[in-house]
């Protein structure tokens, strides 16, 4: 291992100062922000927190980034952000802004893949944190990054280490992409069958497109298939508000679902990052989640809906409503119904469900009731899909743990990669 200053191995360039008057909701180019760093997973993400991310003004060509460029933030808008890295996913689309630094390696000394992990390693993060400008929002600079001290092996070892870690991250990204597609399939099938009404008829043809009879429903103000009914959720489900608790209570340990767990997931709650609390069994009994339940956020991300795949002494907090369908085959159908509402402007007599979530607003929602046979077919499909989602989520957790445990050991030379046996020593979980 040889000692260097990062400035001997990389060049760091600050992005462009982009005028706010050219921010737009549509355009050809997207301006990068600190919101493009998924710092928990150390990868790139699309920024969904703002709607004016396009830039329609002029800028120098060197600020338009290429696929595979390494970027790192210069502003810590969330604790732990400094020292994160991300790779640009597409050429000619993203403009480097002044809060984002581009990293260029001297590839005669530093392998690019190795550099990606070196910059996000604890040894660099700790130095950046110690030297960060102490303001309300902490900052670093290209010079401070280049002043960090690191120890690196020879280039051949770097390439092996970088490739191994890159392979693990590629597998994690693939599993995430598969899960994204599975969730899209679930929503698409729900839309096709229960919004467009092109579910398979008795001849296996799409019902509405094949001339299936439709009748006007006054409650929904639209036509629905003949013989289908409507009901309010309050007649199909029971509802409970979550538990309020103090952190210093004495009792048995329980995992608890908080709003942050819901906002960090899409359909499934897989147990990751659940807090553990201790409370008396007598107090916990009415708040234990089962596999029949649907959890719905009341705040933070109001109306957001999730499923718990496996329940093992898991409670839900007071900012969450638990919905329990009276029939088990309704659970996945109602979950998708509520998921679709997350992205809509659906209203009740109490206002928008996404702004005013309560038991009363949920109970008052009207939902279409297809035949039990069709609901059970849909439920079986969703169960299989959710099992795949869960399996992939568990593989992601295993791979992430493996990567995070290997990273410091590989960076400081405690673990070496044997080219001949690396596949055997670091076998990756399959889908």
Pairing of strands 229-232, 29-31: unpaired
pLDDT at 40 (0 to 100): 79
**Res. 426: pLDDT tops 50:** no
Q: pLDDT grade, residue 343 (50/70/90)?
A: low
Is the Cβ–Cβ distance between 345 and 355 less than 8 Å? no
Q: Provide the CA 362 distance to its chain's centre, in angstroms.
A: 25
Mean pLDDT confidence for 162-184: 92
Query: SS3 for 101?
Result: strand
Mean pLDDT confidence for 35-39: 88
**Res. 229: pLDDT tops 90:** yes
Q: Which of 369, 255, 249 is nearest to 315 (CA)?
A: 255
Is the Cβ–Cβ distance between 375 and 330 less than 8 Å? yes
Give backbone dihedrals phi and psi of 153, rounded to 5 degrees, phi first: -80, -175
Mean pLDDT confidence for 96-123: 94
Residue for token pair 């990669």: 417
Beta strands in 283-370 (DSSP E): 294-297, 305-308, 314-316, 320-325, 347-348, 351-352, 366-369
Mean pLDDT confidence for 337-360: 64
pLDDT at 302 (0 to 100): 60
pLDDT at 249 (0 to 100): 82
Stronger pLDDT, 188 or 131, i.e. the higher one: 188
Q: pLDDT grade, residue 357 (50/70/90)?
A: confident
pLDDT at 220 (0 to 100): 92
DSSP secondary-structure letter at 288? Answer: B
**Res. 62: pLDDT tops 90:** yes
CB count in 10 Å sphere of residue 181: 10
| Mean of all residue pLDDT scores within the chain | 87
pLDDT over 70, % of the chain: 90
Q: pLDDT grade, residue 315 (50/70/90)?
A: very high
Handedness of CA 22, 23, 28, 30 (dihedral sign): positive
pLDDT at 225 (0 to 100): 96
pLDDT at 291 (0 to 100): 86
User: Residue 422: CB partners within 8 Å, gap ≥ 6?
Assistant: 160, 164
Q: pLDDT grade, residue 298 (50/70/90)?
A: confident
DSSP secondary-structure letter at 22? Answer: G
CA atoms in the 13 A half-sphere facing the CB of 71: 36
pLDDT at 347 (0 to 100): 44
Q: pLDDT grade, residue 236 (50/70/90)?
A: very high
What is this structure's pTM? Answer: 0.80
Is the Cβ–Cβ distance between 113 and 31 less than 8 Å? no
Residues shown for the chain: 431
Q: Which of 288, 278, 284 is nearest to 248 (CA)?
A: 278
pLDDT at 272 (0 to 100): 66
Q: pLDDT grade, residue 282 (50/70/90)?
A: confident
**Res. 185: pLDDT tops 60:** yes
pLDDT over 90, % of the chain: 58
């Amino acid at each position: 291992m040889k000692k260097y200053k990062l400035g001997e191995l990389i060049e760091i360039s600050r992005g462009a100062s982009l005028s706010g008057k050219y921010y737009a909701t549509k355009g050809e180019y997207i301006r990068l922000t600190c919101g493009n760093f998924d710092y928990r997973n150390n990868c790139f993400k699309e920024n969904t927190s703002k709607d004016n991310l396009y830039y329609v003004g002029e800028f120098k060509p060197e600020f338009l980034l290429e696929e595979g460029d390494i970027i790192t933030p210069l502003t810590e808008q969330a604790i732990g952000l400094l020292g994160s890295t991300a790779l640009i996913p597409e050429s000619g689309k993203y403009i480097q802004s002044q809060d984002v630094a581009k990293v260029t390696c001297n590839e005669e000394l530093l392998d690019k893949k190795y550099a990606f992990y070196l910059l996000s390693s604890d040894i660099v993060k700790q130095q950046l944190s110690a030297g960060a400008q102490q303001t309300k929002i902490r900052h670093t600079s290209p010079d401070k990054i280049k002043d960090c001290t690191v120890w690196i092996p020879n280039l051949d070892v770097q390439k092996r280490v970088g490739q191994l870690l890159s392979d693990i991250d590629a597998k994690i990204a693939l599993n995430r992409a598969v899960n994204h597609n599975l969730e899209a399939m679930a929503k698409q099938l729900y839309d096709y069958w229960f919004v467009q009404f092109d579910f398979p008829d008795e001849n296996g043809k799409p019902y509405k497109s094949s001339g299936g009879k439709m009748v006007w429903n006054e409650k929904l103000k639209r036509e629905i298939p003949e013989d289908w009914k409507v009901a309010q959720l309050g007649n199909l489900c029971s509802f409970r508000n979550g538990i309020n608790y103090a952190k210093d209570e004495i009792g048995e340990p329980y995992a608890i679902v908080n709003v942050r767990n819901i906002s960090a997931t899409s359909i499934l709650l897989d147990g990751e990052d659940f807090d553990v609390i201790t409370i008396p069994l007598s107090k916990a009994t009415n708040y234990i989640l089962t596999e029949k339940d649907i959890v719905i956020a009341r705040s933070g991300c109001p109306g957001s809906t999730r499923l718990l795949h496996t329940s093992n002494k898991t409670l839900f907090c007071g900012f969450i409503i638990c919905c329990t369908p009276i029939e088990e085959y309704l659970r996945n159908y109602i979950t998708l119904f509520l998921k679709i509402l997350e992205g809509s402007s659906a209203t009740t007599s109490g206002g928008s469900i996404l702004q005013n979530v309560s038991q009363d607003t949920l109970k008052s929602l009207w939902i279409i009731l297809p035949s039990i046979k069709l609901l059970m077919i849909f439920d079986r499909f969703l169960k299989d899909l959710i099992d795949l989602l869960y399996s992939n989520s568990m593989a992601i957790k295993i791979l992430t743990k493996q990567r995070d445990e290997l990273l410091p050991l590989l960076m400081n030379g405690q673990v070496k990669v044997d080219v001949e046996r690396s596949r055997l020593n670091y076998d990756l979980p399959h889908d």
